[in-house]
């Protein structure tokens, strides 16, 4: 009974640690892997790492809402900072205020995530908001450092490429799809949502495609959004 209560109380921390350990251990294994471009497993491994990178950012995002370690602000911020930093040296302290601006001013000129242009112009605007020269320099320095121990193809395939793909994934499912055509939305959050398919919602972006649900209840962690989707589907 006590163990069950502890698990319920610290579920967010346990899930965050699971993602961190999975990301680190799978990356370590793949950096040592004998790459074969003829093997489909190489490309599957890239997709797995992309999914884990996305998990890092979603965990950092949940930390911005205080739901990774509720009741322990210092630990919550530490986990968010760590996850953001491991994702191509994103700086949590820079992401935090911009994300809350997005929630307060969704789909307006004051929303740093919003752009009224096409997909590519929107992505360029989005990237410009969050990618800094310092990040690029740190990535370049780490790339050259990693070459001292690991093959170049492994570094590119499993460390660099997945972070780029995950950035597109997060933008497409978490920003572009739910907020495009915001002038057509009549709901108060100016956000659309994916159709109810929990498997696809998890694979595509850790349920973050259930975006109206997230804006409606930002205090729910990513792993509870599917429950909110079910509740709203029943009209409760």
Express each pLDDT in 29-54 by its tens digit.
Answer: 999 999 888 889 999 999 999 999 99
CB 84 within 8 A of CB 60: yes
Q: What is the CA radius of gyration of the chain?
A: 18
Element housing 222 (H / E):
none
pTM over 0.85? The answer is yes
- Kindly report, residue by residue over 169-179, the tens digit of the pLDDT: 999 998 888 88
pLDDT at 182: 57
Distance CA 227, CA 29 (A): 34
Chunked mean pLDDT (size 10), the chain, 236 residues: 57 93 96 90 95 96 92 92 93 87 80 77 82 88 92 94 93 87 68 89 92 90 91 74
Q: Reduce the DSSP state of residue 230 to 3 states and report it.
A: helix
- Tell me the three state secondary structure of residue 118: coil
Q: Where are the alpha helices (DSSP H) in 32-67?
A: 40-64
């Amino acid at each position: 009974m006590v163990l069950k209560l502890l698990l319920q109380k610290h579920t967010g921390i346990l899930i965050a640690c699971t993602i961190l350990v999975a990301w680190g251990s799978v990356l370590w294994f793949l950096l040592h892997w004998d790459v074969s471009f003829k093997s489909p497993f190489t490309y599957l491994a890239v997709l797995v790492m992309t999914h884990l990178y996305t998990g890092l950012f979603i965990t950092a995002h949940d930390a911005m809402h205080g739901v990774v370690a509720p009741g322990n602000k210092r630990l919550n911020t530490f986990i968010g900072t760590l996850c953001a930093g491991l994702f191509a040296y994103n700086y949590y302290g820079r992401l935090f205020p911009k994300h809350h601006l997005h929630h307060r001013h969704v789909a307006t000129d004051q929303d740093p995530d919003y752009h009224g242009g096409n997909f590519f112009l929107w992505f360029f605007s989005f990237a410009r908001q969050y990618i800094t020269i310092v990040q690029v320099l740190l990535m370049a320095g780490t790339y050259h450092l990693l070459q001292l121990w690991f093959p170049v193809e492994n570094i590119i395939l499993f460390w660099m490429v997945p972070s780029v793909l995950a950035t597109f994934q997060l933008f497409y499912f978490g920003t572009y799809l739910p907020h495009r055509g915001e002038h057509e939305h009549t709901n108060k959050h100016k956000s659309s949502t994916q159709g109810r398919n929990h498997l696809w919602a998890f694979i595509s972006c850790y349920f973050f495609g259930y975006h109206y649900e997230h804006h409606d209840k930002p205090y729910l962690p990513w792993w509870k959004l599917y429950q909110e989707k079910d509740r709203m589907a029943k009209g409760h």
